[in-house]
Amino acid sequence: MPFTDKFIINSNFIPKPSKRRSGLPISKVHFLVAHDTGNKNSTAAQNVRYYINSRNDMSASAHLFVDDKEIIECVPALTAVPEKAWHVLYNVPKDNELYGVNANDAAIGVEYCYGDNIDADKAYEKYIWVLAKLCFVFGLDPSKAITGHFFLDPRRKTDPVTGLAYSRRTYERLLKDIVREYSECTGEMPAIPALNIISKQGSATTTVRLNVRKEPNTTSDIIQTLPARTMLSFKGVVQNGQPINNNGVWYQGINNEFFWSGGVLENSIPDVTSLPVENKPLQNSTEPPPPVAAMNATDLIPDKKCFDFIKQWEGLSLKAYTDSAGIWTIGYGTIMYQNNVHVKQGDVITQEQAEELLAWEIMQKAKAVNAVIQPVILNQHQYDALVSFAYNAGINALRNSTLLRRVKANPADFAITDAFMMWNKAHVDGQLVVINGLDNRRREEAKLYFS
């Protein structure tokens, strides 16, 4: 099967041995790393010339540079036996997690040149072509074998996202276009297998800005774009969706929408057995959490504002403490673990466990709120305020409250504010007294409700 050679690849190799080019061979090319130069308006020739002139001053290097006029190879990859280049730090772990090797030892690095003086469309055309050709030459799957530098080293790098912005394109578009270019240049259309969806109910929280799509691939229509720390419910897991950075697992939402697993953290039950032995909570349950009901298509889901609101008011403690009512509490206001065990003195958890406890408990309260407000339809702010109230006071408190009766009678009734304020007290030394923290929280929940 031939590959269409649309462009010429020129070579201008960095002399070896030098800091930028060791001459060490790559025994096998496992994947490709998409970079941009990070140097606006610098051309391929200028970058290669800089590498050659500073070859013994610094070690950083890459295999190919691409601009609107030419493709230049300065460390052998396609025009000679491929050699190692130093384009990703050795101490970042993501390349090993994804491919089992270090990028410097087993990946080809391709740099995209960009800027006001570079024709973005022509440079992009060459860029996707050379990445597709590299996949062809080294027998790589174009849908799985390409990753961005920013994905491997997110704390330090943004390439090629920054450079692609100058061509009015996104990283997701790049991955899609490389697959298309590969198909066009080989005449081989990739087979589309039937989706393998495993039934599974749960929830997840977005860790990045995330697109929710009609199908589990980046070419599908975007239904909505969600900010980080938005909670989503799902009913299935797709095992063979479009791979993004070698991860093809997607979730199927409750309305048959799809979102990529790499952009979310699944909300699981924290493993309290992993607590230090001397800090394990004792079995002392008095009120089990409400049963978990499946989410209906019409149910609301707490949004980022709700999530942040609760975290703000609860605060965080990784060591158990007593709240204003003398109840042992941990994390973001957790008083009972998922195995119906109360928090006790001496308990210690990790930040990750605190986040999981928070996300899990919010979802439990959210589902319960959806059940008790039926058949009333609320807006997002009203719903979030009630979820916050239930998180703090408990779902049983909401279920039997004047607050819920007023909401169900007329969600727009301003007397609902007074109903919130009925819950600003706690028992202290046997007396029911107003607690400043509760008083302020109830006021803010009422403001959120009517915002």
Binned at pLDDT 50, 70 and 90, residue 245 comes out as low
State the Cα–Cα distance between residues 445 and 430, nearest whole angstrom: 27
**What is the C-alpha R_g of the chain?**
28
What is the rounded distance in angstroms from the CA atom of residue 23 to the CA atom of residue 27?
A: 12
| Active-site annotation holder among 67, 70, 177, 314 | 314
**N- to C-terminal Cα separation, the chain:** 62
Task: State which of 60-64, 89-93, 165-169, 392-396 shows the largest mean pLDDT.
Answer: 60-64
In this prediction, residue 386 carries a pLDDT of 96
Cα distance between residue 108 and residue 21, in whole Å: 13
**Of 23-37, 335-349, 434-448, the least confident:** 335-349
Please give the backbone phi and psi of residue 111, each rounded to the nearest 5 degrees, phi first.
-100, 130
**Beta-carbon contacts of residue 8 (< 8 Å; ≥ 6 apart):** 70, 71
pLDDT tens digits for 254-290?
A: 889 999 987 787 774 433 333 333 333 333 333 444 4
Asked which of 243-252, 277-286, 392-401, 419-428 is least confident by mean pLDDT, the reply is 277-286
Report in angstroms the alpha-carbon separations of 312 from 79, 315, 393: 57, 6, 16
Domains and CATH numbers, the chain: 9-186 (3.40.80.10), 197-266 (2.30.30.40), 272-449 (1.10.530.40)
For the question of residue 314 being annotated catalytic, the response is: yes
The per-residue pLDDT for 169 is 86
pLDDT band at 172 (very low <50, low <70, confident <90, very high): confident
Q: Which two tokens stand for residue 67?
A: 């601009």
Active site residue: 215, 266, 323, 444, which one? 323
Dihedral of the CA atoms 299, 396, 201, 273 (nearest 10)? 150
Tens of pLDDT, residue by residue over 94-113, are: 888 889 999 999 999 999 99
In the 3-class helix/strand/coil scheme, how is 300-329 assigned residue by residue?
Answer: CCCCHHHHHHHHHHHCCEEEEEECCCCCEE
pLDDT of residue 351: 82
Q: What are the residues whose beta carbons fall under 8 Å from the beta carbon of 110, sequence distance 6 or more?
A: 32, 33, 34, 35, 62, 63, 64, 66, 127, 130, 131, 134
323 annotated active-site:
yes
For position 246, what pLDDT does the model report? 58
Q: pLDDT category, 342, cuts 50, 70, 90?
A: confident
Predicted TM-score (pTM) of the model is: 0.50
- CA pair distance 302, 295, nearest whole angstrom: 12
Tell me the average pLDDT across 391-395.
89
* Alpha helix stretches (DSSP H) within 118-232: 120-137, 149-152, 161-165, 171-186
**128-156 tens-digit pLDDT:** 999 999 999 999 999 889 999 988 988 78
